[in-house]
Amino acid sequence: MPQRPRAASQYTTFNVYEPEELMTFLLKVMSGISRNKVKALLTGRAVYVDQVITTQYNFALKPGMKVQISKKKGQKEFHSSLLSIVYEDAYLIVVEKREGLLSIATNREKERTAYSILTDYVQRSGRQHRIFIVHRLDKDTSGLMVFAKDEQTKRNLQDHWQEIVTDRRYVAVVSGEVEKNNGTITSWLKDNKVYVTYSSLSNNGGDKAITHYTVIRRANGYSLVELELETGRKNQIRVHMKDLGHPVVGDTKYGNGDDPLRRLALHAFKLWFYHPVTGELMKFETPYPSSFKNLVTGKSSSGTALQNAEPTRQ
């Protein structure tokens, strides 16, 4: 079992006697507290469930669990406009990344990254603490990512990624109204000398890539599409949507110049995987970004995925 953070005297502990959601439980046991104050405790990372920091308002409590609430602010508060921590334990951190933020620095780009932000965060607990990259999202893609807190967890996740991850999905807005309700795109992807990925229907010596898509809605000359990756190749979704004749909105590299949102309309909204240490099935999911939905309904919105997301951990 994980060596999870121990509750000190500054925590108030409540026992769980019946199944209910965390928000409902906290409103009941903390007499007179408002929903906004409960949300502030959750986003402020002041609530533990069985000694694991839990920020999800609808986390499903079970009889026998213990809920602990900090009486004062901790030393590891996390504040970033580019990144949101949705789950953390002794072995890993699950985050939601904003568009425009690199996952990790490259030889060509040394700017602020998700990796460097999280490294600064964990090192507040001691210089020996580290973060390990497990997988990446493109700079212009937003959504859920998992980082390891030790090298063994990183290796377990990477070496067994196909078996550990049970559901990984993206949502995108693409140009044009996709004709079929669902389908599968298969091709071989390979980079040219200027790092542009190109696609071939026959084996060109590149990596085989398989993308499954489902159309959620068509309107206003756009399609809202869910995408499930059978393989996780560089730029896979963007290249496959171009192959389909419906490039991702806002894609300056593989698109057609259509950019009504002033961002790449691609978001990693679902990530389900078995915890590499405990074996627990971890389920994380964010709502579709409101700007994506509004583009195919004709509504205007300045909302962002990070502001509107309320991930669930079960």
How large is the average pLDDT for residues 220-245? 92
AA identity, residue 65: M
Q: 266 exposed, middle or buried (CB, 10 Å; 0-12, 13-18, 19+)?
A: buried
pLDDT of amino acid 194:
75
Q: What is the pLDDT of residues 130-161, one digit of tens each?
A: 899 999 998 999 999 999 999 999 999 999 99
pLDDT of amino acid 50:
87
Q: Per DSSP, what are the bridge partners of residue 165?
A: 273
What is the longest distance spanned by two Cα atoms in the chain? 65
Choosing among 1.25.40.10, 2.30.180.10, 3.20.20.150, 3.10.290.10, the CATH entry for 1-73 is 3.10.290.10
Q: Which residue has the tokens 């389908």?
A: 183
Whether 89 is a known active-site residue: answer no
Residues 6+ apart with CB under 8 A from 201: 186, 187, 188
Sign of the torsion angle spanned by Cα atoms 185, 186, 188, 189: positive
Residues in the chain: 314
CA distance 234 to 148: 21
pLDDT band at residue 4, thresholds of 50, 70 and 90? Answer: very low
DSSP letter for 254, please: T
pLDDT of amino acid 7:
35
217 or 6, which is more confident?
217
In the set 50, 89, 138, 167, the catalytic residue is: 138
Domain range annotation of the chain:
1-73
CA distance 270 to 263: 20
